């Protein structure tokens, strides 16, 4: 039997307060909600891979570092504007904007402490 793993096709993260996180991801990051999402989650219109936040299906308080070892990268335009918006929100900036392998980038944590990286869209 032959098979081939093509690559990631969906990236959901479990959050402690879905409505609070929805506000962060829509109002601070500017993501748009895809209305086709299930009732226990918000799926965002991201490309090429769909990103979502969902109600937890595990005890999130059992871990001291959610998503430890995994840092999804997102493309964005005007990362300086996004950096400033996150810095003024409840998000936490972890690195300043710097040059990287996919253009300028920075890293931050969301409200649950997930580490995310944003790089400038080409």
For the cut 90, the answer to whether the pLDDT of residue 6 exceeds it is no
**pLDDT tens by residue, 33-80:** 999 889 999 999 999 999 999 999 989 888 888 888 889 999 999 999
Residue 5 predicted with pLDDT over 80: no
CA 52 centroid distance within chain = 8
Instruction: Walk me through the domains of the chain, giving residue ranges and CATH numbers.
Output: 10-58+65-120 (3.10.180.10)
Give the global pTM. Answer: 0.89
**Average of per-residue pLDDT values in the chain:** 93
């Amino acid at each position: 039997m032959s098979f081939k793993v093509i690559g990631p096709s969906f990236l959901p993260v479990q959050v402690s307060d879905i409505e609070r996180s929805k506000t962060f991801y829509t109002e601070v990051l500017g993501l748009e909600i895809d209305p086709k999402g299930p009732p226990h989650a918000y799926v965002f219109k991201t490309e090429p891979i769909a990103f979502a936040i969902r109600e937890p299906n595990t005890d999130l308080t059992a871990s001291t570092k959610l998503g430890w070892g995994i840092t999804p990268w997102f493309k964005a335009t005007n990362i300086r504007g996004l950096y400033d918006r996150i810095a003024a929100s409840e998000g936490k900036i972890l690195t300043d904007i710097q040059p990287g392998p996919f253009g300028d980038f920075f890293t931050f944590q969301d409200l649950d402490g997930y580490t995310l990286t944003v790089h400038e869209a080409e």
